[in-house]
Structure 1
Amino acid sequence: MTIRKKLLLFIPLLVLLVNSVTFFLFQSSQTVQQSYGIMMDRILMYNQSAQTADLTLRLLYQDLIHTESNSTTNLDQEQHKLEEIRSKLSKITSPSLPPSTLTGYSHMLETLIEQTTAVLAAVEAQTPSIAFAHYADAEHTTGFIREEAQRLVDIELAFYQPIYQEVQQENTRMNQLSSAIFVVNTLMSIVLAIWISQSITGPVRKLVSLARRVSLGDLKVVDSLRSHSNDELGILSEAFKQMTNDLVVLMEKDKANIEQEKLLKELELQALQNQMNPHFLFNTLNVLSKLALLEGAEKTSDLIISMSNLLRYNLRNLDQPVTMKDELNIVQEYCTIQQARFRDRIQFELDIDESTLQEPIPALTLQPMVENAFLHGVQGMEQGGLIRLEIMRIPKGILIKLIDNGCGMDENTRQAILRMEAGTEKEHSTGLGTRNVFKRIQLFYGQPNLMNIDSAPGQGTTITILIPK
């Protein structure tokens, strides 16, 4: 999930949750307040009706005693107010009272209004006795209204007392629930804020730290870079990891190229140090070869030509690959020279697959290996020395096997040569040893473990080299 989706999803959800809880609390409080308000309106209406009845009775008495007073206007207002209250009472219902009770109370108010009207009519007709008789009735009716209003209030309060207690408990519970919801919402907001912050700032801080380490040359930071998110920062972390891996690969390639160039420079330097004015030397060898031929020494002439070819091949440009055929030719020249020296003491055998003759191979690969087998393997043997070179094609490429029946080597020497450690070999006539050949093969093909040595003291040596496809 992307960071934008996280923000657009979780923040509105949190706001919606808070608003929903707030709306629920508001609706609950509104319901309680509405129920409480309806009950209080009825109770106030009962009290107001009793107070209005008392005030109407007092004004009526003043009108009887003081006929010249201006209480008639106020009396009319109170009568109108009493009629409004009666009209409202006739329309309301109460769960605590039967409809007949409110109807009877409404009739009491109506009766009081009629008695008040009768008193005023008698006063206008100047019949005091009739007026006082109606006033006495109105006074009794007002007493009944007062008592009934108080009874109605007591009934309402008695009915709503357990409900009011429940409302109080509900209010207490709602207050506690509101506090709990406030705490939960606060904690959820904090957790959500921390989670979003960590999902954004945490990987950024880690990337900044790793980038700083990479800038200081520490390229092993990739091992500590682990990202399991699928957002933009996860993609950025993977891209940074891939870039660092590519940088490591490029640096390894550059290091290998530099090492190869250094090795080639060393070989060229060795060739220059061993060089004795090649043109003069080759011309001298050619003259000696022709003199030997004129004198009838054909074997001597062939030997000089072999030496000349070997010397010319060793002084060539070493950074250019050659064919397998070229390498085999120089091996045969070397074998010619050694057989002229040791004659039947040493035998050289070749088993070559002709389909491999045009395959490219680094220069000076086979001849130094054969020379190494001769110097360290069979040179000290009085007779029966054998060096065998086999080249065959296999599914993985070309397999070169160099076998000798010489003195062999111990395990420490074998491991040291395979690890290409310096100082494991004596200097050869060509200046190139097995370590040098192994190193150049590894750099040339860019693959490790292409060489192997099978040897033991007194049991000869077998060197295998795989030339990959």
Structure 2
Amino acid sequence: MTIQNKIWGLVSLAVLVMGAIWIALTYSNQQAQEQYSSILSRYLQMNEVTTSSQALVTELNEYIRLPVPAQEQRLQEEEQQLRGIQQRVEALRTETNQLDMTNYLLMMDSLIEASNRTLSFVKQSEVDAVTQEFNEANRIAASLEDRTLYILDQELRTYNGLYQELIQQSDELETLGLWLLGLISSIVLLVAYRFSLSITRPVHELTRAANEVAQGNFQTPIHISSNDEIAFLARTFDTMRENINDLFEETQEKARLENELQESQLLLKESQLKSLQSQINPHFLFNTLNTLSKKAYLDGAEETSDLLVSVAGLLRYSLKKVDQSVTLAEEVHVIEQYIAIQKARFAERLTFHLEVDERLLDTYIPSLTLQPIIENAMIHGIEKLVDGGTITLRIYREQESVLAEVEDDGPGMQPEELHRLLHQEVRSETGHSTSIGFQNVVKRLQLFFNRADVLTVTSAVGVGTTVTLHIPLQKEVPVE
């Protein structure tokens, strides 16, 4: 609603209220007039009874004196007129005048009957009977006049209270008019106040929002419930605030991504450097290990030969670039070689279980992802136990993810140790980093899958530690 419409609405409301009051007062005045007219009409109809009865007696007297058809016609007309008045008077009967009105109507019937008998005796030329009936009619007419005066007196007594009520109502209407005037004034002032608030409040809200934006706060929205020009201006300003805020957040996000990219590049360079530091002429060492393996096999030391083959395979796998992707099958194969080397070292102290869903082995992950986690379980789990322990590698599907779970039954970790594991490289007791670092694995997984929730670690002291990789499912796997 526009401001102009609000003004027209206020004016229309005032006119509507004034019109309603005028209609109410007019209706009340009309009701009073109708009641007054009803009382006056009753008085006039009662007076017509006296006039009509006297006229009937007069016409009857004229007919007795001159019994001609014309005079008889006038007599019958007066009789009909009296009957019509009788019917109207009958409608004036109420509960208070029920008995009086009944006698009054019977007297009119008696007058008409006496007139009819007189007319009949005149036609029969019975003089004595005519005189007697005429006197009776004259007496009834006089009684009707007296009864009319009596009933009018009773009516005046009855309607005197109503007349007083009409006067009281007039006084009350005058008082009501004054009260209504005060009430209308109050309503108009209240509506005008609310109307002014509907204009000034959005202006204040818009001013406050402008000050917030000027101070660099782009998060506070503008709430204006009206629907006028100021609200349109506020919504436009709020849209501008949101656009600026989105641009600001987009700039911050770009800066954060650039920072993460720089960190990932530094991390990659660091891992490559550590990989180079751990390699002393790796190709020469790889060829040497192969030569030693063949010589051990020829000398009959098959176990030593197998161990050298595992070391050579692990060394060859580590020569790959860290940013390359491999399948889970390749990772599991290198884990088996790593476990073979560790079993030569720990013998019966190390137990390894492999539970793999072979349908998932063609899933791609970054190279050297599982081996650092297995190595971490060895260093911080199995090596610390005198009787050794068990490491379990499980690969299974859960909904739309492939889970690679490394579980050990080692001593477990305190919460602060778990925090250090997730936020910095864990070092072995010899002071060397655990492979290329547990945090390095997490970062490479996050970059590879472009998501943050790639790894969870649960650990309890005296129970063990479980590391779970959450790998997005890359193809449909048939359901058995």
Which structure 2 residues correspond to residues 11-160 of structure 1 after superposition, within 5 A? Answer: 11-18=7-14
Cα distance in 2 for residues equivalent to 1:177 and 1:382:
100
Unaligned runs of 5+ in 1: 28-166
Distance 2:350 2:420 in 1: 25
Task: Give 1:235 deviation, angstroms.
Answer: 5.7
**Match of 1:287, SS?**
helix
**For the aligned residues, what is the CA RMSD?**
4.8
1:264 counterpart residue number = 264
| SS of the residue 1:328 aligns to | helix
Indicate the SS of the match to 1:446: coil
Deviation at 1:412, TM superposition (A): 3.9
Q: CA deviation at 1:250?
A: 5.1
User: 1:324·1:360 contact (CA, 8 Å) conserved in 2?
Assistant: yes
Q: Distance in 2 between matches of 1:452 and 1:239?
A: 44
1:455 pairs with one of 449, 460, 465: 460
Structure 2 stretches lacking a partner, 5+ long: 24-169, 298-304, 474-480
Match of 2:6 in 1: 10
Q: Is the contact between residue 307 and residue 340 of structure 2 (CA under 8 Å) also seen in structure 1?
A: no
Matching of residue 305 in structure 1 with residue 312 in structure 2 = yes
1:402: Cα distance to partner? 1.1
TM-score by length of 2: 0.52
Correspondence for 2:411: 407
1:23 Cα deviation from its structure 2 partner:
8.8
Q: Does the C-alpha gap of structure 1 residues 307 and 243 become closer, same or farther in structure 2, counting only changes over 3 Å?
A: same
Aligned residue pair count: 320
**1:296-335 Cα distance to aligned partner (Å, 9 max, x none):** 453464144224224313xx143x6543233323323432
SS at match of 1:16: helix
**What does residue 358 of structure 2 align with?**
354
Query: Separation in 2 of the partners of 1:285 and 1:15?
Result: 100
Letter in structure 2 aligned against 1:12: W
- State which of 203, 206, 210 in structure 2 corresponds to 1:204: 206
Partners of 1:168 and 1:294 lie apart in 2 by: 130
Q: Does the Cα contact within 8 Å between 1:348 and 1:386 map onto a contact in 2?
A: yes
2:469 paired with 1:465: yes
TM-score by length of 1: 0.53
Partner of 2:195: 192
* Residues 367, 261 of structure 1: alpha-carbon distance in 2 compared, 3 angstrom cutoff: farther
Contact kept? 1:324, 1:361, Cα under 8 Å: yes
CA distance in 2, matches of 1:275, 1:440: 15
Work out whether residues 390 and 408 of structure 2, in 8 Å CA contact, stay in contact via their aligned partners in 1.
yes
TM superposition shift of 1:376:
0.4
Maintained 8 Å contact 1:455/1:462: no
Task: In structure 2, give the amino acid aligned to 1:306.
Answer: G
Q: Do the aligned partners of 1:402 and 1:462 also contact (CA within 8 Å) in 2?
A: yes
Q: Does structure 2 conserve the Cα–Cα contact (< 8 Å) formed by 1:390 and 1:400? A: yes
The residue aligned with 1:103 is none
Q: Deviations over 1:278-297 (max 9, x none)?
A: 99723212331343245345
Q: Verify the 8 A CA contact 1:288 1:301 in the aligned structure 2.
A: no
Q: Distance in 2 between matches of 1:343 and 1:25?
A: 107
Aligned twin of 1:45: none
What is the alpha-carbon distance in structure 1 between the residues aligned to residue 457 and residue 224 of structure 2?
A: 42
SS in 2 for 1:193: helix
Secondary structure of 2:351's partner? strand
Tell me the distance in 1 between the aligned counterparts of 2:193 and 2:226: 23
Q: 1:352: Cα distance to partner?
A: 1.1
Provide the secondary structure at the position in 2 that maps to 1:295.
Answer: helix
Distance in 2 between the 1:437 and 1:256 partners? Answer: 21
- 1:292 aligns to what? 292
Query: Secondary structure at 1:284's aligned position in 2?
Result: helix
